[in-house]
Amino acid sequence: MNNAHKLSAMEAVKKIKQGQLTAESLMRSCVEQVSERDDMVKAWAHIDPEQAIDRARTADKRGNKGPLAGIPVAVKDIIDTADMPTRHGSTIYEFNQPTIDAAVVSKTRAMGGVIMGKTVTTEFAWRNPGATCNPHNLNHTPGGSSSGSAAGVADYQFPLAFGTQTGGSVIRPAAYCGVVGFKPTFGTYDRDGVKELSSYLDTVGIMARSVQDAAFFDTVLRGNSLTNSPILDNTSLRIGAFVPFRDSAEQCALLALDASVRMAEKAGATVVDIESSKNFEILADIHNVIMTGDAGRALAWEYDHQHEQLTQFYTENIALGRAVSDELLEQAKNDANRARLEQTGTLFEHVDVLLTLSAPGEAPKGTSLTGDPLFNKVWTMLGLPCVTIPVQKGPSGLPLAIQIVAPMNKDSLALAASAWFEKAVSQGD
């Protein structure tokens, strides 16, 4: 089938199940897209096209069992794969070959997905970007740390991908690349086999080109039997428009949010403004203490044994993290635990979900930095489910997105509200 790589995940599964498409022909189409675009987008840390095609062919021979039915899935290169290297974006791990799959990889294979390859991550999913460029404009960052996953989904190289988020590493790159990113409630997907940066913050997330596909993949990973798109009841959705750190947002992002509010109201939602506060915004400082302190401990081996291969950023910041006392780190986590209870009760007292920014604006020019995670890090620390949805293009022609945030463990609501909003945006075009 021509252009099979442009099918949504659910469309591809349907065609495969109906015998109108094979997993091999889908994989070949994706591989052809990679061969045409990878020299420019550079989304891959590792891909063996023949291996990927062979795995898809094997899936066909087995009858494409499981809900994923042999479709390609890309994996961020801090997530272990038993048949592919896992380099964590670092020369330290250039020859690292895990012997077992990470839990989410094993689950994906068990559900019929074909692991296509490993996508570029910033080093240790923290700073130091890889080579990936934004597919909408190669002179701009794709965001990070899940750079390759976001860029590859946006560039139609694969329909589904894994990322991880410790600050803003799923939502921000997805927003910059114009795809849907879903960071579930903290602890939803098993992190076994994922390189640790912060045990308190690290969250495995997913990326797709639509909310429907993201919800489908989420359902599969949870082991649920239902794979339908989430649908809200006919009751009016109550949305809280909430913009902390407003002074750090670009005007184009604020205008896109205002336009989104109008579209939501036109589609029948009730939207109320929620004022930000210093008590909320100071949580970003608590996140910084936790992330730095935890990272100093998680990367202690690299600091002690591979010091000469670390960039100055890592030597300085790992040392800074190691200097955070156990007592200070424990206090920061206690403060964060308290905030998880208090903020959820306050922010969602009169609304179902929050509508906020996914990123400060369009993807910044240049690829030496990945953008500011300020609009993500507090939600990560609070452990709340978040979805980013592309809504329009900015003044430079790059995607602008909004973010839906729901209460803890209300992931289905986050996805349902996002699906509702995605439909409202498409009708407003």
Q: What share of the chain is helix, strand, coil (3-state, %, to 5)?
A: 45, 15, 40
In a domain, 242, yes or no: yes
Same domain? 385 vs 264:
yes
Task: Give the closest residue to 388 by CA, choosing from 412, 410, 429, 355.
Answer: 355
- Percent of the chain at pLDDT > 90 equals 94
Residue ranges, the chain, pLDDT below 70: 1, 225-235, 428-429
Task: Give the closest residue to 298 by CA, choosing from 125, 84, 98.
Answer: 125
Which tens digit of pLDDT belongs to each residue from 290-313? 999 999 999 999 999 999 999 999
Same domain? 122 vs 270:
no
What pLDDT was estimated at residue 230?
59
Same domain? 415 vs 375:
yes
Same domain? 159 vs 265:
no
How many angstroms separate the CA atoms of 325 and 328, rounded?
A: 5
What pLDDT was estimated at residue 227?
45
Same domain? 176 vs 272:
no
Under DSSP, the state recorded for 6 is G
Across the chain, what does the average pLDDT equal? Answer: 96
How many angstroms separate the CA atoms of 389 and 401, rounded?
A: 5
In a domain, 202, yes or no: yes
In a domain, 316, yes or no: no
Same domain? 215 vs 248:
no
Sign of CA dihedral 120, 126, 131, 135: positive
What pLDDT was estimated at residue 231?
62
Q: Is 79 helix (H, G, I), strand (E, B) or coil?
A: strand
Contact 49, 74 (CB under 8 A): no
Same domain? 130 vs 272:
no
Contact 171, 358 (CB under 8 A): yes
How many angstroms separate the CA atoms of 159 and 137, rounded?
A: 20
Which tens digit of pLDDT belongs to each residue from 126-137? 999 999 999 999
In a domain, 54, yes or no: yes
C-alpha angle 247/185/270, rounded to 5°? 60
Q: Could you tell me the CATH number of the domain that includes residue 36?
A: 3.90.1300.10
Amino acid at the residue 100: I
How many angstroms separate the CA atoms of 291 and 199, rounded?
A: 9
What pLDDT was estimated at residue 229?
52
H/E stretch holding 400 reads strand 399-405
DSSP, residue by residue, 257-281: HHHHHHHHHHTT-EEEEE---HHHH
Q: How many angstroms separate the Cα of 226 from the Cα of each of 148, 181, 220, 410?
A: 29, 21, 8, 17
How many angstroms separate the CA atoms of 394 and 351, rounded?
A: 29
Q: Which residues pair with 140 in a beta bridge?
A: 365, 366
In a domain, 307, yes or no: no
What pLDDT was estimated at residue 2?
79
What pLDDT was estimated at residue 182?
98
Same domain? 275 vs 199:
no
Which tens digit of pLDDT belongs to each residue from 230-243? 566 556 899 999 99
Residues assigned a catalytic role? 76, 145, 169
Q: Which of 222, 250, 270 is the last residue of a domain?
A: 222
* Structure token digits, residue 148: 């390759």
- Burial class (CB within 10 angstroms; exposed 0-12, middle 13-18, buried 19+) of 334: exposed
Contact 281, 242 (CB under 8 A): no
What pLDDT was estimated at residue 233?
57
Placement of tokens 């640790």 in the chain: 196
In a domain, 118, yes or no: yes
393 phi, psi to nearest 5 deg:
-105, 150
Domains identified in the chain, total number = 2
Residue 109 belongs to what domain range? 4-222
Q: Is 124 helix (H, G, I), strand (E, B) or coil?
A: coil
Same domain? 185 vs 138:
yes
